[in-house]
Amino acid sequence: MSDERTLDLLEAKIEELKQLNVMDGIDLSSEIAKLEKKLVELRRELYANLSDWERVKIARNPKRPYALDYIQTIFTGFYELHGDRMIGDDRALLTGLAQLNGQTVVIVAQQKGRSTEENKERFFGMARPQGYRKGVRAMKLAERFGFPVITFIDTPGAYPGVESEEANIGGAIAESLLTMSQLRTPILSVVIGEGGSGGALAIGVADRVLMLENAVYSVITPEGAAAILWKEKDKTKEAAAALNLTAEHLSELGLIDTVIPEPLGGAHKDFDQTVEALKASLVGFLNELRKIKLDKLLDARFKRYRSIGSYRELGVSEQEAYSEETAPSGDAPVEEAPDE
Amino acid sequence: MSIFKDKQYLRVNVDKVPDESLWMKCKACGELIFKRRVRENNNICPNCGEYFFLTVEERIEMLVDEDNFDNISKSIEADDPLEFVDRKSYQERVEQAQGVTGLPDAIVVGRTKINEVAVILGVMDFRFIGGSMGSVMGEQICHGMETAIADKCPFILVSSSGGARLQEGLFSLLQMAKTTAVRAKLADVGLPFISIMTYPTSGGVQASIASLGDIIIAERGAMIGFAGRRVIQHTIAQELPSNYQTDTFAFEHGAIDRVVKRDHMREELSTLLSFFAEVA
């Protein structure tokens, strides 16, 4: 089976032929048409059989549109708001006001960088406590004025460095979760690329959760799961499959509301088409949420999260066994703790 | 000292514990210690003061009034929504942990009294797959808080967890949001939530319910933090300070209210609860 790189080469060749066609006046159009048809077929075949690990690679592809690309095309007049009023301004997590179809919304978005320089500023999209605290500030502002909140999730995870821990990153994430679960205004979240663990969920508690087709959302990266559970670095492919992290799997499991289709080859192959699909979905959900009374909306949000979980009843004999005090004490072997 | 010359001494091999059912070796000071004395000392080394793990039963016994614990945990156990298999199947891991701990999952919640004050208490057991929070733990914590609301009494949670239960994928991650949503209800009705962080309180548990206590107390020797050392070194290869993510680190940076010795914890809770006597 062909991979994305071969297809990109073929695409480049077709472009070359088109140039020749124009320059030399030789008619290659039937050849070009044939090749283009072949390219579409190959790409369709490739994407129909994409492994979950390959999906992760698409989600992380630096050519993929980032939050600001969507913000600048879907909304008008994005007006960025800076700073958490305590430590500083985190550039990995953006907040601001904007308009969607003439109505004001508050945007909270994780932003990756493309160049080394940009990534130095954006911390590869990994927000620090001041980022999440800025997000909370923006969400409370939205609540005060009745603006809906739209969040864009695209992060490998919260920034795991010393300065993050010093400023209590865990507490900042928890505070953001709490704020969102109580926020008296509609919230939409869309995973546009990588939904990396607690750092992603921190801005992902919402009335509707959307995912782009090639986005992923997971409790841990496949690399992390391979290292911790398989204890082998090269098991990332297996880990990616086991984690059920694709939009399709998560939709089947009922953990997200909708999957927004992407053009063949990923969002970057036809940005306009992706924007159109995402915008239509956001507008549709927003209109739906606006019609719901706030008390009902909050009630439904609570029920949504209260009911998440997968467990089963204990059998009668097991219940009896556990009601007796049978636990051995002290020095039993301890399983290694997961890191996330 | 010539009198010691050529004298034959009896050699004792301290690397070998003579009778493992009676004796243990302290992992910190290396001293051979009598297990019963360790147990009587709340699993603290009588020689050097090192803390050993407490089982759920031991922790409960240490904190609550004598013979006063009604296990109200829902009778549920882990399902396997993703049919997860790594080197072992998730089912196998759960069964093994159940065998070791005698518990259905990594937490027990109960209705109890601390110095005559009625509370709902949740206690995690680290031996159960690293005390990780999956769907069962999320549900039990919510059930505990909801019972506290029904009983109009405080909720106390003793955390000992590496974070989210990886084998349940996004179901586990979302338990952070679930427990947080119910925690908000507890605040709505004005009931106190005391969070006790023990060794270790990290990952998804630290970044959700454990950090949302009205009061947060760390047990001495606790490890508190979001991203584990391995994650940090793997991601950004940063040098870490020696007290990194310890109880003192969390305390010095203002993440917690107090650090309390294990053997003072019951007294501490009793004092703390007395301030809330009028509200709960």
How is chain B split among helix, strand and coil, in percent rounded to 5? Answer: 40, 20, 40
Report the range of poorest mean pLDDT among A209-223, A312-326, B174-188.
A312-326
Question: Contact A330/B58, CB-based, under 8 Å?
Answer: yes
pLDDT of B13 reads: 54
Question: Is the pLDDT reported for residue A264 higher than 50?
Answer: yes
Q: Is pLDDT at A326 greater than 60 in this prediction?
A: no
Smallest Cα distance from B7 to chain A, Å: 39
CA separation for the pair B143, B150 (Å, rounded)? 10
The Cα of B96 is separated from the nearest Cα of chain A by a number of Å equal to: 10
Return the residue in A235, A310, A312, A323 with the most chain B beta carbons within 10 A, the one to mutate for interface testing.
A310
Domains of chain B: 1-52 (no CATH), 53-275 (3.90.226.10)
Supply the DSSP string of B205-251, one letter for each residue.
HHTTGGGG-SEEEEETT-BEESS-HHHHHHHH-----TTTTBHHHHH
Quick count: other Cβ atoms within 10 Å of Cβ A90? Answer: 26
Distance from CA of A305 to the nearest CA of B (A): 5
Nearest C-alpha of chain A: how many angstroms from B149?
15
Distance CA B280, CA B278 (A): 6
Q: Is A244 exposed, middle or buried (0-12, 13-18, 19+ CB in 10 A)?
A: buried
Contact A243 B82 (CB under 8 A): yes
- The percent of residues above 70 in pLDDT, for chain A, comes to 94
Cross-strand bridge partners of residue B258: B217
Chain B positions touching A160 (Cβ under 8 A) are: 226-227, 231-232, 235-236
Confidence band of A204 (pLDDT split at 50, 70, 90): very high
From the list A201, A229, A335, the residue facing B87 with the nearest CB is A229
Q: What is the pLDDT confidence band of residue B89, given thresholds at 50, 70 and 90?
A: very high
pLDDT at B3: 54
- Chain B residues whose CB is inside 8 A of the A228 CB are 166
For tokens 């080859």, the residue is A265
CB atoms within 10 A of CB B182: 23
Domain A57-306: assigned CATH number = 3.90.226.10
Enumerate the residues of chain A whose CB falls inside 8 A of the CB of residue B200.
Answer: 337
Please report the pLDDT score of residue B11 as a whole number.
57
Chain B residues with beta carbon closer than 8 angstroms to that of A332: 100-101, 127
Do residues A130 and A89 lie in contact, with contact meaning Cβ atoms separated by under 8 Å?
Answer: yes
Residue B35: closest C-alpha in chain A = A330
Give the gap in angstroms from C-alpha B208 to the nearest C-alpha of chain A. 4
Question: Lowest-pLDDT range, A2-16, A68-82, B248-262?
Answer: A2-16
Residue ranges per structural domain of chain A: 1-19+29-45, 57-306
Parallel/antiparallel/unpaired status of strands A93-100 and A76-81: antiparallel
Note whether B274 and B185 are within 8 A (CB).
no
**Pick from B136, B141, B144: which is nearest to B111 by CA?**
B144
Residue A303: DSSP 8-state = H
Q: What is the predicted ipTM?
A: 0.91
Question: To the nearest whole number, what is the mean pLDDT of chain B?
Answer: 91
Work out the pLDDT band at B87, boundaries 50, 70, 90: very high
Residue whose C-alpha is closest to residue B229's, from B202, B259, B197? B202
Query: B234 vs B172, which has greater pLDDT?
Result: B172
Q: Please state whether the peptide bond connecting residue B200 to the residue before it is cis, i.e. omega within 30 degrees of 0.
A: yes
The nearest CA of chain A is from the CA of B211 a distance in Å of 5
Nearest CB to B81 within list A204, A227, A310: A310
Q: Report CA torsion sign: A243, B86, B162, A234.
A: negative
Task: Say how many CA atoms lie within 13 Å of A4 toward its Cβ.
Answer: 16
CA dist., res. A71 & res. A91, Å (int): 15
B263-277 tens-digit pLDDT: 999 999 999 999 999
d(CA A110, CA A102): 24
- Put simply, the answer to whether A230 touches B86 (Cβ < 8 Å) is yes
- Residues B157 and B141 sit within 8 Å (Cβ to Cβ): yes
Q: Are B40 and A312 in contact (CB under 8 A)?
A: no
Helices (H) and strands (E) in chain A, counts: 15, 9
CA distance A84 to B91: 44
- Comparing A1-15, A138-152, A317-331, the range with the smallest average pLDDT is A317-331
For residues A139-154, give the mean pLDDT: 98
Q: What pLDDT score was predicted for residue A15? A: 84
Answer yes or no: is pLDDT of B113 > 70: yes
pLDDT band at A327 (very low <50, low <70, confident <90, very high): very low
Compute the distance between CA of residue B64 and CA of residue A206 in angstroms, rounded to an integer.
39
Taking Cα atoms as reference points, which of A315, A324, A289, A318 lies closest to residue A304? A289
User: In the 8-state DSSP scheme, what is residue A335?
Assistant: P
Tell me, what amino acid is at A310? Answer: S
| Minimal Cβ distance to A165: which of B101, B126, B245 | B245
Average pLDDT over residues A146-170: 96
Chain B residues whose beta carbon lies within 8 Å of the beta carbon of residue A221? none
Beta bridge partners of A106: A97, A149
Residues of B in contact with A180 (CB under 8 A): 177
Provide the H-helix boundaries in chain A. Answer: 4-24, 29-48, 52-60, 67-74, 116-122, 129-145, 162-166, 169-182, 197-201, 222-225, 236-242, 247-252, 271-290, 294-306, 316-323
**Angle at CA A321, nearest 5°, toward A315 and A324?**
140
B-chain residues near A224 (CB < 8 A): 231, 234
> Distance of alpha carbon B156 from its chain centroid, rounded?
12
Chain A interface, best mutation among B67, B82, B173, B224, by max A CB count within 10 A: B173
Residues of A in contact with B170 (CB under 8 A): 217-219, 244-245, 250, 253, 255
Q: At what angle do helices B169-188 and B135-151 cross, to 10 degrees?
A: 10
Cβ of A160 within 8 Å of Cβ of B235? The answer is yes
